[in-house]
Amino acid sequence: MKIATWNVNSLRARADRVEDWLRRTDADVLAIQETKCKDENFPWELFENNGYEVAHFGFSQWNGVAIASRVGLDDVERTFSEQPTFGKGGKDPVQEARAIGATCNGVRIWSLYVPNGRALEDEHMPYKLEWLRQLKENAARWIADDPQAQIALMGDWNIAPLDEDVWDIDYFREKELTHVSRPERAAFEAFLEAGFSDVVRPHTPGPGVYTYWDYTKLRFPKKEGMRIDFTLASPALAQRVGDAWIDREERKGKGASDHAPVVVELD
């Protein structure tokens, strides 16, 4: 079974590319982030015409997550337990469309769009850290309750856990940028301490291996990217991983997302 995650940065704008990619890669399950759709303008037919069931969670032109599967789509959950809300500048907090889960052929898939901290002192940063803490509490409980549970936490984590995961760590530290701060990295590490594994890195080792390149300043042709899209697998699922790769080619050409798809092949 082949499962994948992809921040498409507006599904309607990239519908043709997503459809072509699904046909070309023969993926069984695709976890999608940043659909930027409401349910009423989600391109359901794109997936249905290609044999996929799809579950979507979106409120507006921001955020939005989905799971498309051709191997079953059961027990759909929109948000995880105690998922934090956010209200900017003291406004009434709202639930953002950042997490959706479903069981696909026995594997519990979560499509996750972790909040971007924006700046180290921005009000989004404590929101991001609490969001990750609550997700980790849920994830740790899932595998404590069932050590054989097959769970994939897939998506855009907006964290670069290692120095080699950004094109120039000195640049990031000098400018005090997010994604590489100690609290963010500790929040990511907490999932590994809870028993989950980054199952893609062993198959895509080394510095200079990225999943995201900003549209500005010619970051992609300059190879100035970040590794911020991950699949963290529960112990039982990690044992099934036979291969994994980052589809950098999909970042090329007109109309590409700023993220590349990340694929995991299960035995």
* Residue 258 is assigned to a ligand binding site: yes
The share of the chain scoring above pLDDT 90, in percent, equals 97
Please give the pLDDT value at position 90: 75
Would you list the DSSP string of 23-35?
HHHT-SEEEEE--
* Residue 158 is assigned to a ligand binding site: yes
pLDDT in tens, 60-69: 888 999 999 9
State the Cα–Cα distance between residues 192 and 66, nearest whole angstrom.
Answer: 24
Catalytic residue, from 28, 56, 156, 198: name it: 156
Please give the pLDDT value at position 88: 82
Q: Which residues are CB-neighbours of 217 under 8 A, at least 6 positions away?
A: 224
* Residue 7 is assigned to a ligand binding site: yes
Q: Is 4 helix (H, G, I), strand (E, B) or coil?
A: strand
Kindly state the tokens that stand for 151: 């769970």
Please give the pLDDT value at position 9: 98
State the Cα–Cα distance between residues 208 and 225, nearest whole angstrom.
Answer: 8
Neighbours of 233 (CB within 10 A): 27
Please give the pLDDT value at position 60: 83
Q: What is the mean pLDDT of residues 116-129?
A: 95
Q: What does pLDDT average to over the chain? A: 97
Task: Classify residue 62 by burial, with Cβ atoms within 10 Å: 0-12, 13-18, 19+.
Answer: exposed
The share of the chain scoring above pLDDT 70, in percent, equals 100
134 band by pLDDT with thresholds 50, 70 and 90: very high
| pLDDT over threshold 80, residue 89 | no
* Residue 28 is assigned to a ligand binding site: no
Q: What is the mean pLDDT of residues 108-132?
A: 96
Q: What is the mean pLDDT of residues 75-99?
A: 93
Q: Does domain 2-266 have CATH number 3.60.10.10?
A: yes
Do 240 and 266 contact (CB within 8 A), yes or no?
A: yes
Catalytic residue, from 52, 113, 127, 212: name it: 113
Looking up tokens 């190879």 gives 223
Catalytic, 259? Answer yes
* Residue 50 is assigned to a ligand binding site: no
Do 64 and 34 contact (CB within 8 A), yes or no?
A: yes
Please give the pLDDT value at position 154: 98
Q: Which residues are CB-neighbours of 205 under 8 A, at least 6 positions away?
A: none
Do 164 and 207 contact (CB within 8 A), yes or no?
A: yes
pLDDT in tens, 214-264: 999 999 999 999 999 999 999 999 999 999 999 999 999 999 999 999 999
| pLDDT over threshold 80, residue 136 | yes
* Residue 116 is assigned to a ligand binding site: no
Indicate the pTM of the whole model.
0.98
Catalytic, 113? Answer yes
Cα 84 to the center of its chain, rounded Å: 17
pLDDT in tens, 142-194: 999 999 999 999 999 999 999 999 999 999 999 999 999 999 999 999 999 99
